[in-house]
Structure 1
Amino acid sequence: MPNARPSRLTRRGVLAAGSAVGLGIALAACGKSDDKGGPGKAAEKSGPWSFKDDRGTNVQLKTTPRNIVAFIGTAAALYDYGVEVKGVFGPTKGKDDKPDVQAGDLDINKVEIIGNVYGEFKIEQYAALSPELLITNMWAKDDPWYVPPQSKDKIMKLAPSVLLWAAGTTMQKALQRHAELAESLGGDVKGKQAAAAKARFEKAAARLRAAAKAKPDIKVLIGSASQDLFYVSVPKMSADTLYFQELGVKFVEPKPNAQGFFEELSWENVGKYGADIIIMDNRSSVLQPAALTSKPTWAELPAVKAEQVFPRVTEPIYSYDKCAPILEDLAKAIETAKKVARP
């Protein structure tokens, strides 16, 4: 799907184009790891392999798959446990050839890029890799994320697939499921580096809970911008913000459309909801706050005036290493926020 997007899109199209649905936060470094050493390579495993995915499908192979093709964010999560893939699809690199925020610490020069934008999936290139396993997320039941609907049947017949929830679950569960998949593929989920990352995540969760408890009147709005519309997301519809709610964070609760994920506001009505903090979709496919200066109604928002607008990782990389900074940054935002919205 091209970055230029119409005023109104389907739920799937808005998700792919970069609306306000998968909801995390990163105020710095886009959730990159502080550890420059990188993970060790996955251990070689022999014998039969099986994994029950979030569709309830029990995928069984004669040997542990090595020729893996995955959605870029999922590939980045597996990489943090030492599991490498042969190919990726989804937003991998920008026009400057630099890694997209969803690539994490993955070296994008060492993988085949099967597709870099929504709707692009080079089937012949994919088949040439002799794929043993395709891995991606689900935002809707049985709907493989970033696999084009028009060629889905053909693609899914070429190799077994594993799908993991990015919605309808919490961040904790998503992290657990990605770790379980990585472990099944030979990844190191219990070693020193993995243990340190998990401990950091748990500490960050405690900090976020404490910040939310200390400032219960601070309200956070989850936003995403297009040229014509501003999207306000429903926090419970995404794994990460549902978890943040469980930790006590107070979010703006919009009145979503029939699909239930977000409310579409015209720029004239962007001030409909009072918010002390606005967290804005950090994906490369949507308008960033710097591009909104020409919108007078945006400039008048209390959170904008107070400089309490922060980027967010809209599609988190579900490893503890990448999710810990998301919680830390949200905690810091709440700790330092001033109450600016009217009650």
Structure 2
Amino acid sequence: MSLSALPRRDFLAAGLGLMFGLTACGGGSGTTPAAPGASAASPGAGPWTFTDDRGKKIDLPARPSRIVAQVGAAAALWDFGIRPIGVFGPHKLKDGGKDPQVGEVDITKVESLGNVWDEFNVEKYISLQPELLISGMYDDKALWYVPEKSSATIEQVAPTLGVRQTGRSLPEIIGKYAEVAAALGADANAPGVAAAKTRFETASKALVTPEIAKLKVMIMAGGPESLWVASPADHPDVRYFKELGLDVVVPEKVDQGGFWQTLSWENADTYPADVILTDARAQSMQAEEMKKKPTFADLPAVKAGQVYPWLAEQRYSYQGYADVLERLHAALAASKKV
């Protein structure tokens, strides 16, 4: 299967999941505290209306409280104070631990409808009596991780709300999730949310120092036969890093589906870099495995120990990206030209 042949909506999951033999499974438990100062939504009196990024107007007799969300959307909304009753998409690792993609969501307190691509338990979804389903979108129509084979049935059970996660800036996407959360009854001025926004803004300003600006950074993902270099134009976070002054590698020949340039491991040295950020999602090849590829192990950044984790799917909240920016700054500050 060729990455460039995939539809845009399938590109990230299939390209960096199914091609690697995605085998995440359920099980395990863990408790994660809620975001400080967050307030859960409650049903509101009177009609509720919202128009999503598909231009779809949702009309309900009251503000919905029984919400099911794809894990990326669930994690973002959780940070803004919304507590979904069910999630779908990667949230449990092989060892039963919590997948980083689900953020601060307490997976012991939500129902799991599916943990891998193309898995969605429609019967369990119906049994939850949901009032709204929320998911991100990587094109103008398809909801992320909602299987096409089940989409018609899912749409009949409850209204769906899509948030577009491409073609807009990182702060704009975070702002959209904040808007959705506020519409669902969250307190936009909750102390925890305000503190997270301040952290995000401070970390943004502090990310690139004059020394860090001298570093060339390649952001990538790896698989058994190929590696993929991230295109800033399609990854809002990579684009944001670049806008803040980070010298990010821009691939010259982006694949037809966007998001990446596919390279063979023999061509791992196509783009010189002082620092390499590798996709740390469970479905991607991890950095230690990549180092078994001789052409990767020989790269100057790898020899210098300047390889750091990056999640190609991070939750779009101030808290989520404050964490990302602070960790990235610490890693870059400890790096040098090679």
Q: Normalising by the residue count of structure 1, what TM-score does the alignment of the two structures yield?
A: 0.88
Change (3 A) 1:183 1:35: closer
Aligned counterpart for 1:273 among listed residues 254, 271, 274: 271
The equivalent position to 1:319 in structure 2, one of 317, 320, 325, is 317
Question: How many Å apart are 1:243 and its aligned residue?
Answer: 1.6
Matched, 1:302 2:294: no
1:14-59 superposed Cα distances (whole Å, 9 cap, x missing partner): 4014649xxxxxxxxxxxx998757333354222112222122222
Taking the aligned partners of 2:172 and 2:282, their CA distance within structure 1 comes to 27
SS in 1 for 2:80: coil
Aligned residue identity for 1:259: G
> Greater relative contact order: 1 or 2 (C-alpha under 8 angstroms, separation 6 or more)?
1
How many pairs does the alignment contain?
321
Partner of 2:172: 173
Q: Which residue of structure 1 lines up, in the alignment, with residue 25 of structure 2?
A: none
Judged with a 3 Å threshold, the aligned counterparts in structure 2 of structure 1 residues 153 and 134 are, in CA distance, closer, same or farther, namely same
Q: Supply the RMSD in Å over aligned alpha carbons.
A: 2.1
Query: What's the counterpart of residue 92 of structure 2?
Result: 93
Identity across matched positions, percent: 42
Change (3 A) 1:176 1:153: same
Amino acid corresponding to residue 274 of structure 1 in structure 2: P
* Residues 43, 64 of structure 2: 8 Å contact kept: no
Conserved 8 A contact 1:283-1:314: yes
> Quick check: 1:18–1:224 contact (8 Å CA) kept in 2?
no
* Unaligned residue ranges in structure 1 (runs of 5+): 1-5, 21-32
State the distance in 2 between where 1:196 and 1:338 align. Answer: 32
Where 1:75 maps in the other structure, the secondary structure is helix
Which residues of 2 match residues 33-72 of structure 1 at below 5 A? 39-72=38-71
Q: Which amino acid aligns with 2:215?
A: I
Mark the runs of 5 or more structure 2 residues left unpaired by the alignment: 18-31
1:138 Cα deviation after fit: 0.6
Q: Partner residue of 2:155?
A: 156
2: CA distance, partners of 1:293 / 1:219: 20
- Partner of 1:25 in structure 2? none
SS at structure 2 position matched to 1:143: coil
Query: What code does the residue aligned with 1:61 have?
Result: L
Partner Cα separation in structure 2 for residue 297 and residue 228 of structure 1: 12
Separation in 1, partners of 2:178, 2:229: 31
Distance of aligned partners of 1:38 and 1:116 in 2 relative to their CA distance in 1, 3 Å threshold: farther
CA distance in 2, matches of 1:34, 1:16: 28
Q: In structure 2, what residue type is equivalent to 1:162?
A: L
